[in-house]
Amino acid sequence: MSKKLRFRECLEHLYPYLKRHQLKLWIGLFLVVLMQVIYAIMPSVEGQITSQLQYDIMYRDSHIQMDKIVHILGILLCIFFVKITSQFVSAFFLTDSIQKTMEDIRQSVQAKINHLPVQYFDQQETGDLLSRITNDVETLSNALQQTLSRVIGAVCTFFFVSFMMFRINLTMTLIVYLALPLIALISFGLIKRSQPLFDAQQQSLSILSSSVNELYSGFDEIMAYNQQEQAKKSFDIANDEMRKTGFRAQFASGLISPSTSLVTYITIGCVAWYGCLQVLSGTILLGELQAFIRYIWNINDPIAQLSQLSSAVQSAFSAMNRLFTFLAMDELEDKEELVLIHEVDTIEFDHVRFGYGEEDLMSDISFQVHRGERVAIVGPTGAGKTTLTNLLLRFYDVKEGSIKINGIDIRQFSYHQLRDLFGLVLQDTWLFEGSIFENLKYGNPKADMSDVVKASKQANVHHYIHTLKGGYESMINESGSNISQGEKQLLTIARALLKDPQILILDEATSSVDTRLEARLQAAMEEVMKKRTSFVIAHRLSTIVNADLILVMEHGKIIETGRHEELLAKKGAYYTLYNAQFSQQ
Ligand SMILES: Nc1ncnc2c1ncn2[C@@H]1O[C@H](COP(=O)(O)OP(=O)(O)OP(=O)(O)O)[C@@H](O)[C@H]1O
């Protein structure tokens, strides 16, 4: 994420997305150009009314020719009608193409998340990632919506209006042109200065969302530990930083408009003085001077507009930068499915060495498991139990040695193929916002209601679902807080049963539940492990006693292996652990 993209590179990344909806985009932009032509013609036509009146007063003894005035008004009305229609139609086409482009970008970000290595998520704040999908895309969308048509319009206006001004008077046009570099200098100088300030503002926003996210997800703990003051303090710091960066960025860009207006007024003063002399000498008509003064605003407008849009352009640039650097990140390379696995017969760790960073956490890990066996992994916290299962799922790759299924290195399989073999029942149960039925089907989208009910019965959770008002259609809220922890784990067991995986990874809950629920959980776990190769991060005595293989881990090493009785007889590490933790159960 370190390399920053330049503006041109950002546009190069954006272009393929815009290109997909280019027909609508081009129609919209063509109409924008048409509007600018009309915009350039209107002051001259309006000026004709003044010139006509001037003529009638001076040469026809104030006898006004109303038919000529009505004729010009008619032309103005037609032009106005075309302008309004173009405005509506172009807004429709531009909005449609831009919104579709944003939808595509959001989809790319979503797809990207699925193809990133797990390490990326270890290093990223969730708020930062969420901000990429929502805030950054929204900022870019707003900027395109507001700026694309206006920037193109501004450039066209500049050329069309210049042409009209030259037609009226060369000297007056040159006076205006003298002021233009000053306006450009002021605008773009201030834009450049405020660019880093906008970056800082966006960064603060993302820190603030992370902070709010943390406050919300840790709400119970904050209350329980009476840390409201501390939480408020860290939120206040993020909030204050947001205010400061926001103020600096907005103040810097807010200076642009008043400064450029001042230069415009001075220019109008000079032109009006020179123009009046020309009218008096009869070189130009009064209506032409009137039109010319309108043109000064119109030609300064593009530059002033750009400066007014600068905050949107700069925020969009920052957003595009983050979005496209994210989208350009290296993805996990997946293999084609060259090797097939039907039945998993053996799983083997062969002299595995691994560490999350430079330092090794585990080395020389070797053991073998056969089909249908139950492996209990025990050891103190931080021993490396979860890491072992992370390696099995290839969330991380081993540094040395290999993990083999049926004698084939798991790196030979595609991620999809490998992970398809596994079912997960974790302590940290994950259920999403949706109905119980949808949550259970997650493991097997093809399952129908009868499969779901069957799995729920096996997992001892069917009766509980029935007691809920909506049954299988009951909604689980975003955090899953409307269901108890024990019931949630039963639901994840049912989900795993529906998937019917060959290998099961089960992380037993350490939190104690009431005796009846415990019995239900126990039975459900036995059911899900039945006839399946299972790796259990074990906390229950019964699981360990019934295991075919117990791996005793400490500091990333397997220090003992065997069955319960053998290990007890050894009177080693397992014996001590058993007496300290499990014998009371
Ligand atoms: N994603 C990670 N990045 C860096 N270090 C990690 C990561 N995950 C775990 N660790 C570290 O690796 C070591 C082993 O962690 P692991 O979670 O495998 O232990 P565990 O035996 O499962 O512990 P527990 O019983 O508490 O879950 C710990 O020191 C932990 O801090």
> Are the C-beta atoms of residues 476 and 482 closer than 8 Å to each other?
yes
The DSSP string of 347-397 is EEEEEEEE-SSSS-SEEEEEEEEETT-EEEEE-STTSSHHHHHHHHTTSS-
Look up residue 83 and give its DSSP letter.
H
The crossing angle, in degrees rounded to 10, of helices 66-114 and 149-168 is 150
Residue ranges around ligand 1 (CB below 6 Å): 122, 356, 361, 379, 381-387
> Whose Cα sits closest to atom 4 in ligand 1?
356
Dist. CA 121 → ligand 1 center (Å): 15
CB-based contacts of 493: which residues, under 8 Å, 6+ apart?
Answer: 425, 459, 461, 521, 524, 525, 527, 528
Whose alpha carbon is nearest atom 24 of ligand 1? 381
Nearest CA to ligand 1 atom 25: 381
Model pLDDT for residues 196-216, shown as the tens digit of each residue: 888 889 889 888 888 888 888
Q: What is the dihedral of CA 542, 544, 546, 550, to 10 degrees?
A: 180
pLDDT for position 338: 67
Which domains, ranges and CATH numbers included, belong to the chain?
Answer: 7-327 (1.20.1560.10), 346-582 (3.40.50.300)
Block means of pLDDT (10 residues each) for the chain, 585 residues, are: 73 91 92 91 92 87 86 94 93 93 90 79 69 81 82 87 93 92 84 82 88 82 82 89 91 82 91 93 91 90 69 81 85 70 88 89 90 91 90 90 92 86 83 86 86 90 88 78 79 89 84 71 82 87 86 90 90 85 63
What's the CA-to-centroid distance between 123 and ligand 1, angstroms?
A: 15
**Residue closest by Cα to atom 8 of ligand 1:** 387
Q: Report which protein residue has its CA nearest ligand 1's atom 31.
A: 382
Q: What is the pLDDT of residue 399?
A: 92
Distance of CA 385 from the midpoint of ligand 1 (Å): 8
Closest CA to 173 of 261, 281, 288, 285: 288
Element (H, E) at 400: strand 400-405
Q: Of the candidates 195, 507, 215, 243, which has an alpha carbon nearest to the alpha carbon of residue 378?
A: 507
Tokens of 230: 């501390």
C-alpha angle 86/90/92, rounded to 5°?
A: 125
Atom of ligand 1 nearest to the CA of 118: 1
Ligand 1 centre distance from Cα of residue 382 (Å):
5
Under 8 Å between Cβ of 50 and 290: yes
Residue nearest to atom 3 of ligand 1 (CA): 356
- Total residues found in the chain within this entry: 585
Say which residues have a Cβ less than 8 Å from residue 416's Cβ, sequence separation at least 6.
Answer: 334, 337
Look at strands 362-370 and 346-354 and give their pairing: antiparallel
Atom of ligand 1 nearest to the CA of 377: 21
The contacts of residue 505 (CB under 8 Å, 6+ apart) are 389, 392, 393, 422, 423, 424, 425, 426, 534, 535
